Amino acid sequence: MHLSNYYAFVALDLARERAAEADAQRLAAFAHPGEPRTAGVRRVIARVALAIARAADDEVGQVALTTH
């Protein structure tokens, strides 16, 4: 595996973790409403993380995943 592929996978995993954290925080905010301003910031962060994950998926999808 090339080092660039490794970094792409690490970025993808990190983006998915951040998106999952944002989803968990969003669900918690529905249960316990907090400041509306912070909810907007969390939503923006989640959207950015999702966009990064999708871009990484597109990039990784074009790479041959062979071990040769």
Inter-residue contact 62 to 4 (CB < 8 Å): no
Compute mean pLDDT per 10 residues along the chain, 68 residues long, and list them.
82 93 88 68 89 82 57
pTM: 0.42
pLDDT at res. 28: 85
Within 13 Å and on the Cβ side, how many CA atoms surround 19? 14
Looking at residue 64, its pLDDT comes to 56
Spacing of C-alpha 2 from chain mean position: 22
